[in-house]
C-alpha cells in the first residue's frame, strides 16, 4: 500500500507546500508588489506575519505546555543493614554511610587510602567533617557523587547492595 501511495502523497505534499508558499508570500502585500523598503523593521514585520501564519495553522504551538512544577529529591534517611539513619541533606547521607562503614569492619583504613579524594587523616581545606574514627571526609559533593561514593563504600565493605538504600522525599520547588 505504501509504495502505491508514495508518489500520490508526494504530489499532494508538493501542491500543499507550493500553495502555502505562494499564499504566504503574496498575502497582505508581502512580496506581491514592489518592495520599497526591506530593512530591519520590514523583516521583523514579515517574521511576525509568518509566525502568526504558523499559529493559525497550529494554535497549540502558541500555548506554553502545562508542566508540573519541578521536584527536588531530598534524602530523608539512609538504611544500612536494617538500621535507619535520619538525614537532612546529601552530605548527611555520605557522612552517615561512611561513618557506618568505618565501624563495620577493620579495613576502613584500607578503604579510605583507596579514596584519597574523599578521605584523609588531615582536615580538608573546605567542606569536610570528621568521622567517629578520626578520618576526615570531603563533603562538597553532588547528589549523584554522593550516591556513587556510597555505592563504592558498600562494595568495598562487602555490604550487599540490597542492604543499603536511601529513603527520599520529592519536594516541589517554588
36 φ/ψ sector (left φ>0, alpha ψ -120 to 50, else beta)? alpha
Does one domain contain both 47 and 88? Answer: no
Question: What residue has cell string 562538597?
Answer: 140
Does one domain contain both 91 and 53? Answer: no
Does one domain contain both 81 and 162? Answer: yes
Which pLDDT value is given to residue 5?
54
- Structure-block grid coordinates of residue 144: 549523584
Helix residue ranges, H only, 27-168? 40-57, 90-104, 108-113, 143-156
155 near 104, Cβ under 8 Å? Answer: no
Domain span at 111: 71-172
Which pLDDT value is given to residue 26?
55
Does one domain contain both 20 and 100? Answer: no
Rounded Cα gap, residues 151 and 158, in angstroms: 11
Q: Which residue has the higher pLDDT, 70 or 122?
A: 122
141 near 124, Cβ under 8 Å? Answer: no
pLDDT grade, residue 29 (50/70/90)?
A: very low
Query: Quick check: 96 pLDDT over 60?
Result: yes
Q: What is the mean pLDDT of residues 100-110?
A: 87
Query: Quick check: 100 pLDDT over 70?
Result: yes
Q: What tens digit of pLDDT does each residue of 107-157 get?
A: 899 999 999 999 999 999 989 999 999 999 999 999 999 999 999 999 999
Cα 65–chain centre separation: 18
Sheet holding 119-120, edge to edge: 119-120, 136-138, 128-130
Q: What is the mean pLDDT of residues 88-111?
A: 92
Cα 67–chain centre separation: 15
Does one domain contain both 22 and 88? Answer: no
Amino acid at each position: 500500500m505504501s509504495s502505491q501511495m508514495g508518489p500520490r502523497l508526494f504530489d499532494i505534499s508538493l501542491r500543499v507546500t507550493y500553495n502555502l508558499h505562494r499564499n504566504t508570500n503574496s498575502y497582505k502585500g508581502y512580496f506581491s508588489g514592489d518592495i520599497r523598503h526591506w530593512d530591519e523593521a520590514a523583516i521583523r514585520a514579515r517574521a511576525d506575519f509568518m509566525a502568526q501564519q504558523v499559529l493559525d495553522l497550529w494554535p497549540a504551538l502558541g500555548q506554553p505546555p502545562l508542566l508540573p512544577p519541578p521536584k527536588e529529591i531530598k534524602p530523608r534517611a539512609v538504611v544500612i543493614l536494617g538500621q535507619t539513619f535520619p538525614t537532612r541533606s546529601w552530605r548527611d547521607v555520605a557522612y552517615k554511610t561512611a561513618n557506618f562503614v568505618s565501624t563495620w569492619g577493620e579495613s576502613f583504613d584500607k578503604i579510605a587510602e583507596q579514596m584519597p579524594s574523599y578521605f584523609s587523616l588531615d582536615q580538608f581545606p573546605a567542606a569536610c567533617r570528621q568521622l567517629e574514627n578520626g578520618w576526615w571526609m570531603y563533603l562538597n559533593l553532588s547528589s549523584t557523587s554522593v550516591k556513587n561514593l556510597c555505592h563504592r563504600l558498600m562494595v568495598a565493605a562487602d555490604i550487599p547492595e540490597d542492604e543499603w538504600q536511601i529513603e527520599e522525599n520529592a519536594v516541589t520547588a517554588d
